[in-house]
Amino acid sequence: MIKVVRTLAVAAILSAAAFAFSGCKVSIPTQPAGSLKDAPNVTFKDLQGKDVALSSYKGKVVLLNFWGTWCEPCQHEIPILIDMQNKYASRGFTLLGAATNDEVPTVDKYIHTTQFNVGGKEMPMNYPIVMGSDDISTQFGGLLGMPTSFLITRDGKIYKRYIGALDQVQAQVLKDVESQL
Amino acid sequence: MKTMMRFAHVLALSAIFLISAARTARAQETAAVPPKPSDIVSTKTYVSFDPVPRGKEFQAAVVVKINTGYHMNSHKPSDSYLIPTTVTPQLPAGFTMAGEPSYPAGKNEKFPFSPDKPLNVYTGSVTFRMKLTADDKAALGKTSIPVTLRFQACNLSACLPPVKIPLTLEVSVAEAGKAGKPVNPEIFPPKPTS
């Protein structure tokens, strides 16, 4: 009898541990439907100074990518983002790049003069770019590093957060995006 | 029976502890706090003389220790979009600087996010030096010279926004002709006499 109780106790503790620490990864784990948090109601400025509300993208799956022209890992993942935009835009997906800790002229020059090698072809950034800010970063819970991306569902909820260059988790990101399309 | 009750007790306590630890961890993740500059670097400033007689050139140094796992762009980064590390003194009246601060050369290193293109970076400990002079308009006694260290650091997968850290050089100025004592020889080793 004691043996059975002991086994059950160990199993219960291990299960509790597994449940407890399953969420302690760098990116936020997928949460069950219905418990996802709303994305903050933020408004960016585009490079012409016009307001771009994140809510205006409701109905689309959005990968909101906080990046900076000064950030090498951010530059490194741009070919992946261009490729995703090419692949999924027709299925109700968009990338939204939020340049953070940057100046408009620098960003403007960067996006209009820089070409990226996407599968052997030189391509420019092909998705909307807006300006981020410290306030917006804070509303997203504070950015631990750049790049940081948030996958937002069609109804405006945060599905997942990815910290660091996406090339290191590319397969998972594509799987996550496809699960929302 | 008593043993079984004890087990049940331990089991319940363990489960409560683990679940509450996880909740804390999740709450901390939700309210993520970006690393502070002090989590990435520690800094110390030095001058080569104490006191510094008016009219005598002296050296100042900013020593930056970069924590393991981080690097910062050198003063001459590999790409024009990358932010160089700079040290900028705000000299009060009576102080002048000879030329620009001197920056050590960075090291070319490859990172997982830049496997083909090496980046010119600082890691470990790095010392920036300045040659300063207090002229006859410099106030006698103790003076604090503000210095701004600007850098942009990354770890192996992500970067932190560029930051400016305010530092202070503490200088004591004496009358011209007074003997100044060389200090901090570990930073300013005496020149070998031939």
What pTM was computed for the model?
0.77
Collapsed DSSP state (helix, strand, coil) of residue B24: helix
Confidence tier at A146 by pLDDT (50, 70, 90): very high
**pLDDT on residue B75:** 98
Substitution target in A70, A114, A115, A116 with the highest count of B β-carbons within 10 Å is: A70
Which residues numbered 121-160 in A keep a CB inside 8 Å of some CB on B? 141-148
**pLDDT at A13 > cutoff 50:** no
Render pLDDT for A72-81 as a digit per residue (tens, 0 to 9): 999 999 999 9
Confidence tier at A180 by pLDDT (50, 70, 90): very high
**Mean pLDDT, chain B cut into blocks of 10 residues (194 residues total):** 57 47 40 73 96 95 96 94 96 96 96 88 98 94 97 91 95 92 93 70
Task: Give the ipTM.
Answer: 0.73
Q: Is there a contact between B154 and A72 if contact means CB atoms under 8 Å apart?
A: yes
Which domains occur in chain A, in start order? 27-180 (3.40.30.10)
Confidence tier at A6 by pLDDT (50, 70, 90): low
**What is the third-level CATH fold of B37-182?**
Immunoglobulin-like (2.60.40)
Question: CA A130 from chain center: how many Å?
Answer: 15
CB-closest option in B10, B112, B155 to A9: B10
CB B77 within 8 A of CB B119: yes
- Hey, where are the domains in chain B? 37-182
Q: Is there a contact between B32 and A75 if contact means CB atoms under 8 Å apart?
A: no
DSSP state of B185: T
Render pLDDT for A80-108 as a digit per residue (tens, 0 to 9): 999 999 999 999 999 999 999 999 999 99
**pLDDT on residue B7:** 55
CB B122 within 8 A of CB B159: no
Confirm or reject contact between A178 and chain B (CB < 8 A): no
**pLDDT on residue A7:** 52
CB B157 within 8 A of CB B70: no
List residues in chain B touching A: CB distance below 8 A.
3-4, 7-8, 10-11, 14-15, 18-19, 21-22, 25-26, 29-35, 79, 81-83, 111-114, 119, 152, 154-155, 157-162
